[in-house]
Structure 1
Amino acid sequence: MSWRRPPGPPSVDANTPPVLVLAGPVAPDEVAQLGDNVQALLKATGTGVVVCDVGALRPVRLATLDLLARLQLAARRAGGRIRLRDPAPALRALLDLVGLPVELEGQPEQREPAPGVEEAVEPGDPPG
Structure 2
Amino acid sequence: MDDTKPIVLVVAGHITPADVPRLDEELRAGLPETAAEVVCDVGGLVRPTLAAVEVLARLQLTARRRGCRLGLRGAGPELRLLLDLVGLEALARK
Using structure 1 for the length normalisation, give the TM-score: 0.62
Q: How far apart are residue 16 of structure 1 and its match?
A: 1.0
Give the aligned partner of residue 80 of structure 1.
68
Give the aligned partner of residue 25 of structure 1.
14
Give the aligned partner of residue 47 of structure 1.
35
Q: How far apart are residue 66 of structure 1 and its match?
A: 1.0
Identity across aligned pairs (percent)?
47
Counterparts in 2 of 1:1-128, with a 5 A limit? 13-43=2-32, 46-100=34-88, 101-104=90-93, 107=94
Which entry has the higher C-alpha Rg, 1 or 2? 1
Whole-Å Cα distance in 2 between the matches of residues 87 and 40 of structure 1?
A: 24
Unaligned runs of 5+ in 2: none
Higher RCO by CA contacts (8 Å cutoff, separation 6 or greater): 2
Unaligned runs of 5+ in 1: 1-11, 108-128
Using structure 2 for the length normalisation, give the TM-score: 0.80
Aligned length: 93
RMSD: 2.0
The amino acid across from 2:62 in the alignment is A
